[in-house]
């Protein structure tokens, strides 16, 4: 298998800004899911981050592919949600919309898409700066997978 990979010529290109944001969302989402299995305590998230996603408007989920807009109600903040829980639900919905290409089918306004991606990066940064057991486990998992640069 290694021989096959070595013989293939792949043109190395730099990520554009969107690709970098998408990589941050996708790779860290994987690390966060793994960390949740090992570290039950969730990190503290700054209130400003919660306020920002409320202001932006939480992302919407795809409801029905046949519907004119495809969207159902946005992610809802539950009474018992911690700041991390609500932000993580929003982060996961942003990830889902990337993975399932929903935003290509029913695109956001470019400024909103950019704002949600920037918010996602801020959420990731807040998790890691919490220096919690959860964030330390996510860092370990990313290192194990060789994706620690994202």
**Is residue 35 assigned to a domain?**
yes
Residue 51, domain extent: 14-145
Q: What is the pLDDT of residue 10?
A: 54
Q: What is the pLDDT of residue 9?
A: 57
Task: Give SS3 for 95.
Answer: helix
DSSP 8-state class, residue 73: E
Mean of the per-residue pLDDT values for the chain?
83
User: What share of the chain has pLDDT > 90, as a percent?
Assistant: 49
Report how far Cα 88 is from the mean position of its chain's Cα atoms: 8
- The residue with tokens 């570290």 is 39
**Is residue 150 assigned to a domain?**
no
Decide if pLDDT at 127 tops 90: yes
**Is residue 1 assigned to a domain?**
no
**Is residue 19 assigned to a domain?**
yes
- The residue with tokens 């554009």 is 16
Q: What is the pLDDT of residue 5?
A: 46
What's the whole-model pTM score? 0.82
Residue 61's H or E segment, with its range, is strand 60-62
**Is residue 102 assigned to a domain?**
yes
Residue-wise pLDDT for 55-108, tens only, equals 998 777 665 555 555 556 677 888 999 999 999 999 998 888 777 666 666 677
Decide if pLDDT at 142 tops 50: yes
Which of 28, 10, 38 shows the shortest CA–CA distance to 123?
28
| Domains in the chain, number | 1
Higher pLDDT, 77 or 133: 133
* pLDDT bracket for residue 112 (50, 70, 90): confident
**Is residue 119 assigned to a domain?**
yes
**Is residue 51 assigned to a domain?**
yes
Q: What is the pLDDT of residue 113?
A: 85
């Amino acid at each position: 298998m290694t021989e096959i990979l070595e013989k293939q010529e792949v043109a190395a290109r730099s990520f554009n800004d969107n690709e970098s944001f998408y990589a941050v969302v996708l790779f860290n989402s994987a690390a966060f899911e793994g960390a949740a299995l090992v570290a039950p305590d969730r990190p503290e998230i700054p209130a400003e981050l919660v306020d920002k996603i409320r202001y932006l408007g939480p992302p919407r989920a795809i409801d029905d592919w046949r519907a004119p807009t495809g969207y159902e109600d946005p992610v809802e903040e539950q009474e018992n949600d911690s700041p991390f829980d609500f932000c993580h639900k929003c982060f996961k919905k942003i990830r889902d919309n990337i993975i399932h290409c929903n935003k290509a089918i029913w695109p956001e306004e470019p400024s909103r898409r950019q704002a949600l991606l920037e918010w996602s990066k801020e959420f990731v940064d807040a998790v890691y700066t919490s220096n919690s057991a959860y964030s330390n486990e996510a860092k370990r998992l990313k290192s194990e997978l060789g994706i620690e640069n994202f």
